[in-house]
Structure 1
Amino acid sequence: MSHVVFVLLPQVHLLDVAGPAQVFDTAVNCGQPYRLSYVAEHEDVPSAQGLPLTARTRWPTLGPGDLVVVPGWQTTTLRAGPGPGPALLERMRAHHAAGGTVASVCAGAEALGRAGLLDGRRCTTHHAHQDELAARYPRATVVRDVLFTSDDRVVTSAGIASGIDLALHLLSVRHGPALAARVARGMVVYARRNGHEPQTSAMLRHRAHLDDTVHRVQDLIDARFTEPLTLARLADHAGVSQRTLTRLFGRATGGLTPLRYQQTLRLERAAHLISHGATVEAAARDVGFEDARMLRRLRARAA
């Protein structure tokens, strides 16, 4: 049994809680023995969206294999937010010191910062709060424009829906990518994004469909877009002919071929690397091009 404890603070964002909670609850339906609990300083917790929530004030007994999650809350600045009191901060510190994992969604990184858990570690938060988080916790390394980070059992994610990506990542690390994929399909969440991807991604723009065959192919491309992927391999993975795959893929994605979709992911990742200081040559190699000429041509065509 693995316990997942959500720490609820006033004005908590509902999706910050519900997204990760749904991931672990769906994992239970897939045979994994997770138990979910919700704790707060007071039993009644107002949410940012107006729905009142109820939590326990007494913490369950936790072990090293358990997870504490701090969802974000509505605030204009991190400093002005509610923040946890000393007792909650000590609970989080003690859990991490005992070998447990502590995670945050969006502004929840502020709680981890107050607990001292960000010092000397990589972290992230919603792009609107990244500058303030870096200023408030100079001993932390704030990684900008990524979906989530993981550093020594301290896991932080960007805003709102990225909590789902974080939870799927934790499932994948613990149980393997097959279970994470099964949970995502059960939730009808097909854009399973990696932590290094930018907070807005091409993977989302071409997932607004319900063709499971195409989603399975996109899953493979998303995971291996830096590798050579032939149409034959993709069709075999989907269990259809190459002609059928091309037709289904184009219909579901608004006219893209699998190769064009893969190139789009490569271009986006390369642009992200270049914006963070990589040379065009280094970015081209990182995303799977043999040299920078193809990357330059594709970037010019997309401009």
Structure 2
Amino acid sequence: MTRVVFLLVPGVHLLDLAGPAQVFSSAADLVDGYALSYVGDMDTVLSHQGVPLGASRELPSLDVDDLVFVPGWRSPKIVGTGHLSERALAWVRTHHDNGGTVASVCAGADALGRAGLLDGRRCTTHHELQEELARRYPAAHVVRDVLFVEDNRVVTSAGIASGIDLALHLVAVRHGPTVAAAIARTMVIYARRNGDDQQASVLLRHRSHINETVHRVQDVIESRLADRLSLAELAVHAGCSERTVTRLFGRATGMTPLRYQQALRVERAEHLIGQGATVETAARNVGFEDARMLRRLRSR
């Protein structure tokens, strides 16, 4: 059972919290194994929108697979906002030190900074807070104008709705892109991604269409990422001709099924390399016969 623990800060934005919570709640419906809980420095945390939220003051002991999530709060400026006790910040820091993952939305990045987790790492936050975050944590590398950034189990996202993008990314990493795509479709999300950053998800960028035939083809490709898949085999799964698959897939995604599979492989390989795998190991794990093809595709 993976626990997703949301650390609630006074003035928390409801969508910063509810968006990711909905993603992980939907993941629990699809793959089981998720339990959501809410903690804070007080029993009742008042959101910026005026809704009181119940929280536990007891900070649980966590396992390495558990996730701590800090939603953002109302903050035209970071300084003087988002009060958290040293006890709560130490709890966040200890979870990461023990090998766990921590994540934030919007101003929640400042809580990670106060916990000492931004120094030497790439991070991001809402576009209105980027410059202030960079001044407050000069040892951090603040990446401007992207939706989310992951660096050594510290995952930060921009503002408000980008927490959904971040949560879907974490689900895709743990359970594969097919599960993340199913959740996105359940939530009726139109995927919007920043194409200037490697965190721009191939999966969601090309899943914003409504063609179910193409979705079926994508499901097969994503669930068998490392396999060689012929156009004929994909056509059987789609229930139509090879020519129709090519036509519909190109119209919905702007690429061929093979190009889509290659893009997914490169994205997955990038994640493995970011987690410490060699290029050769990553290439084999995603289905390339050797690292040369991966290097060529990455250089594009």
- Can you list the C-alpha shifts for 1:14-70, whole angstroms capped at 9, x where unaligned? 111111111111111112311110001111111122222111111222111111000
Residue 177 of structure 1, CA deviation: 1.6
Does the alignment pair 1:35 with 2:35?
yes
Distance (whole Å) between structure 1 residues aligned to residue 180 and residue 297 of structure 2: 25
- Partner in structure 2 of residue 59 of structure 1: 59
- Partner in structure 2 of residue 93 of structure 1: 93
Count the aligned residue pairs. Answer: 256
- Partner in structure 2 of residue 69 of structure 1: 69
- Partner in structure 2 of residue 165 of structure 1: 165
- Partner in structure 2 of residue 293 of structure 1: none
Going from structure 1 to structure 2, the CA distance change for 1:198 and 1:171 (only over 3 Å counts) comes to closer
- Partner in structure 1 of residue 20 of structure 2: 20
Distance (whole Å) between structure 1 residues aligned to residue 207 and residue 35 of structure 2: 34
Code of the aligned partner of 1:26: S
Going from structure 1 to structure 2, the CA distance change for 1:219 and 1:119 (only over 3 Å counts) comes to farther
TM-score (norm. length: structure 1):
0.70
Residue 217 of structure 1, CA deviation: 7.3
Going from structure 1 to structure 2, the CA distance change for 1:14 and 1:182 (only over 3 Å counts) comes to same
Distance (whole Å) between structure 1 residues aligned to residue 191 and residue 154 of structure 2: 23
Paired residues of 2:67 and 2:103 also in contact (CA < 8 A): yes
Which 5+ residue runs of structure 2 have no aligned equivalent?
222-230, 260-295
Does the alignment pair 1:6 with 2:10?
no
The percent of aligned pairs where both chains have the same amino acid is 57
- Can you list the C-alpha shifts for 1:179-212, whole angstroms capped at 9, x where unaligned? 222222222225274792699xxx88994x6443
Paired residues of 1:246 and 1:257 also in contact (CA < 8 A): no
- Partner in structure 1 of residue 82 of structure 2: 82
Going from structure 1 to structure 2, the CA distance change for 1:16 and 1:237 (only over 3 Å counts) comes to farther
Paired residues of 1:45 and 1:55 also in contact (CA < 8 A): yes
Going from structure 1 to structure 2, the CA distance change for 1:5 and 1:257 (only over 3 Å counts) comes to closer
Code of the aligned partner of 2:144: R
TM-score (norm. length: structure 2):
0.71
Paired residues of 1:149 and 1:157 also in contact (CA < 8 A): yes
Going from structure 1 to structure 2, the CA distance change for 1:233 and 1:47 (only over 3 Å counts) comes to farther
Distance (whole Å) between structure 2 residues aligned to residue 257 and residue 151 of structure 1: 30
Distance (whole Å) between structure 1 residues aligned to residue 163 and residue 61 of structure 2: 24
Code of the aligned partner of 2:105: V
- Partner in structure 1 of residue 277 of structure 2: none
- Partner in structure 2 of residue 151 of structure 1: 151
Q: How does 1:238-249 map to 2 (within 5 A)?
A: 239-240=239-240, 242=243
Distance (whole Å) between structure 1 residues aligned to residue 62 and residue 206 of structure 2: 40
- Can you list the C-alpha shifts for 1:225-253, whole angstroms capped at 9, x where unaligned? xxxxxx99997885545569858987xx8
- Can you list the C-alpha shifts for 1:84-111, whole angstroms capped at 9, x where unaligned? 1211111111111111111101110010
Q: Secondary structure at the match of 2:80?
A: coil
Distance (whole Å) between structure 1 residues aligned to residue 249 and residue 151 of structure 2: 40
Distance (whole Å) between structure 1 residues aligned to residue 190 and residue 232 of structure 2: 22
